[in-house]
Amino acid sequence: MMNNFFQKIHKKIFRERYIIPEPISGRDAELEFFNRFYSKSKFQSILVNQKHMMKELRGWENIDTYTCLGKDGILYDIDIRHAWGSEIFKQTLIDFGWADQTLSHFKLRGEPSREKIVIYLCEQSVGLSEALQINTVPTKFMIGSYWKSIHHLYILLPVNHPFEISHSNNSGDISHKSMPVGGFATTRFLFKEKHDIGNSPEFKNHPMFFIPSNTERWNEGGLRTKGCLKKNEDKPLITVVTVVFNGEKYLEQTIQSVINQNYDNIEYIIIDGGSTDSTLDIIRRYNDQIDYWISEPDEGIYPAMNKGVALAAGSHIVHINSDDLLLYSRSIPEKIHENINYLFSTYSELDNGKYIVPIKPFFPDGDYYKTTYFPPVKHQSFLSIKNHRSYFNTGYKVISDALLIAEKVRYEKYIVKNHAFSLYRTEGFSSDNPKYVFRDRLTQVIEYKSFRLFGYYLRLILYSKIRNILRIFRLVELKRWLLN
């Protein structure tokens, strides 16, 4: 581990120089097309061209990928996509093509800045309101520092272009066209019954499909309120729960990351604590892709998460809150075993996206008390069996997720997979309120009556003091810079 640390330091200090590839000749037609439709820059040469037909998200397929050099000295990564589905307008915050290479990219000496341009050649079925639309992704949704900005161009067909479109998939091979609510991960396995949901046999063994009415209820909605149901049949139903309160900053990106999964049988539940910002407006825009959402005051994050657990019909559950997101469209793997918990890796975003740090899961060493302090996985990457151990202890403010994970891996089967699953931002409640961590840990020592836990509590205090000293001398920032 230390060798890896020093290798990163050596690589950071003695960086290689970036060498710009030689231009590809005979690409005047593509350059003319780019310069015709994107006037914010003047492209002078194409350096890289790759063809791949892989289609990660619904409603489009990739045709070509280019890297161009602009006269401004910036490198432009350009994706050309053929689009036929309106789903593309609910992918704009997660369709950039993140990969481990881009998130952990190590910039070489003299390497130019990069921008990303996604060009959709749109069929009439997309419903484009104008012949050309250009949108820029807000900076707050950018993850990592690989691209300085990301732009979307929507061009209505027919139009003269030099690209080869495969018309075999013009219908997109989209059987979901028959679904009135679209081809999203949360809508592909829907069925609708015209009967009273409360008396439906599909719900007979389920503890709760709606939160009981109360005088503080602000609003509720989603597919369940329209009688649209899901089953644990051909493949396990996975429940994703998002808890939010005044989370307008990132919530839409969170929602898009869930509903655009390739896994076909996802149930999505959002618990809002009575937000007063534009959170509800965002939720309503995705009403037909969310199974159930509710807005009412609650008693804190863990009571809200427990509401989501009580509502969950899936065999497995994962909590992706409003600052988090599922990182890739294939974050949830195709094969899920119903009696296994899954521990995946995650990425942590620090300093408003300046640093992206990978966090790998590990096998706990069997010390239960140690596991409660150092859980082997972040809750955003813990796809767990839904059962009586899925409820959070509401007696704590910030550590109940660690205690839940410790209980699960102590008594249940699990698999550790080094598979990137999620990203979480360090802007959550526990990060903003470190005093609650100390209070919770002291409460835990008293409740468990364990000298070993008291030892971990003293280590926590010592670690915090050392970290504060290092922060004064800016050594924490130096470490992050060296490792990124």
Cα–Cα distance for residue pair 239/43, rounded to 1 Å: 45
Q: Tell me which amino acid residue 305 is.
A: M
Nearest-5° angle of CA 453, CA 362, CA 1? 95
* Predicted local distance difference test score (pLDDT) of residue 41: 83
* Predicted local distance difference test score (pLDDT) of residue 217: 72
| Preceding amide of 138 cis, omega within 30 | no
Cα–Cα distance for residue pair 169/179, rounded to 1 Å: 18
Q: Which residues of the chain have pLDDT under 50?
A: 1-2, 170-181, 194-195, 198, 201-205, 482
Identify the burial level of 356 via C-beta atoms within 10 angstroms of its C-beta, where 0-12 means exposed, 13-18 middle and 19 or more buried. buried
* Integer-rounded Cα radius of gyration of the chain: 24
The pair of three-digit structure tokens given for residue 400, joined into one six-digit string: 């109940």
Encode pLDDT of 432-474 as tens digits: 567 888 899 999 999 999 888 999 889 888 888 777 776 665 5
* Predicted local distance difference test score (pLDDT) of residue 349: 79
* Predicted local distance difference test score (pLDDT) of residue 240: 98
Encode pLDDT of 406-439 as tens digits: 999 999 999 999 889 999 987 655 555 678 888 9
On whether the 176-435 domain is CATH 3.40.50.2000, my answer is no
Encode pLDDT of 154-183 as tens digits: 999 999 999 998 765 544 443 333 333 457
Name residue, tokens 């037609």: 29
The pair of three-digit structure tokens given for residue 478, joined into one six-digit string: 């130096």
Number of Cβ within 10 Å of residue 177's Cβ equals 14
The residue ranges of every structural domain in the chain are 16-169, 176-435
Smallest CA-to-CA distance from 288 within 184, 200, 175 is with 184
Output the CA–CA distances (angstroms, integers) from residue 182 to 90, 235, 336, in the order listed. Answer: 11, 20, 24
Output the CA–CA distances (angstroms, integers) from residue 188 to 120, 266, 269, 450, in the order listed. Answer: 24, 9, 16, 49
Smallest CA-to-CA distance from 103 within 348, 344, 376 is with 348
Run of H or E residues at 302:
helix 301-311
The widest CA-to-CA distance across the chain, in whole angstroms, is 75
Name residue, tokens 């993850």: 143
Beta bridge partners of 398: none
Output the CA–CA distances (angstroms, integers) from residue 21 to 11, 18, 34, 113, in the order listed. Answer: 22, 9, 19, 15
Q: DSSP per residue over 423-434, as a string?
A: EEETTSHHHH-H
Q: Tell me which amino acid residue 461 is.
A: I
Mean pLDDT of the chain: 85
Answer yes or no: are the C-beta atoms of 266 and 231 closer than 8 Å.
Answer: no
Cα–Cα distance for residue pair 368/252, rounded to 1 Å: 37
Answer yes or no: are the C-beta atoms of 331 and 262 closer than 8 Å.
Answer: no
Answer yes or no: are the C-beta atoms of 259 and 286 closer than 8 Å.
Answer: yes
* Predicted local distance difference test score (pLDDT) of residue 3: 54
